[in-house]
Amino acid sequence: MFWWCAGGVLFTAILGTVLHFLYEWTGESGVVKPISAIDESTFQHMKIMYFPMLIFGVIQWCFLRHEKPCFWLVRLVGIMVALTLIPTLFYTYNGAFGRSPDWLNITIFMVSAIGGYGVEYLLFDRKREGNKWCNLAFLGVVAMGVLFVVFTYLPPDVPLFKSPV
Question: Three-state secondary structure along the chain?
Answer: CHHHHHHHHHHHHHHHHHHHHHHHHCCCCCCCCCCCCCCCCHHHHHHHHHHHHHHHHHHHHHHHCCCCCCHHHHHHHHHHHHHHHHHHHHHHHHHHHCCCCHHHHHHHHHHHHHHHHHHHHHHHCCCCCCCHHHHHHHHHHHHHHHHHHHHHHCCCCCHHHCCCC
Q: What mean pLDDT comes out for the span 50-72?
A: 93
Q: Does residue 117 surpass a pLDDT of 70?
A: yes
Q: Tell me the residue range of the domain where 52 lies.
A: 2-152
Question: Does residue 162 form part of some domain?
Answer: no
pLDDT value at 10 more than 70: yes
Is residue 70 pLDDT above 70, yes or no?
yes
pTM above 0.75, yes or no: yes
Q: Does some domain include residue 165?
A: no
> pLDDT per residue over 144-161, tens digit each?
999 999 999 999 999 999
Length of the chain: 165
**10 inside domain:** yes
Is the residue at 147 inside a domain?
yes
**Within a domain: 136:** yes
Percent of the chain scoring above 70 in pLDDT: 98
Q: Per the structure, how many domains does the chain have?
A: 1
Q: Is residue 158 part of a domain?
A: no
Structure-model confidence comparison of residues 1 and 27, the more confident one: 27
Q: Which residue has the higher pLDDT, 81 or 163?
A: 81
69 within some domain? yes
Q: Identify whether 140 is part of a domain.
A: yes
Asked if pLDDT for residue 128 goes beyond 80, the answer is: no
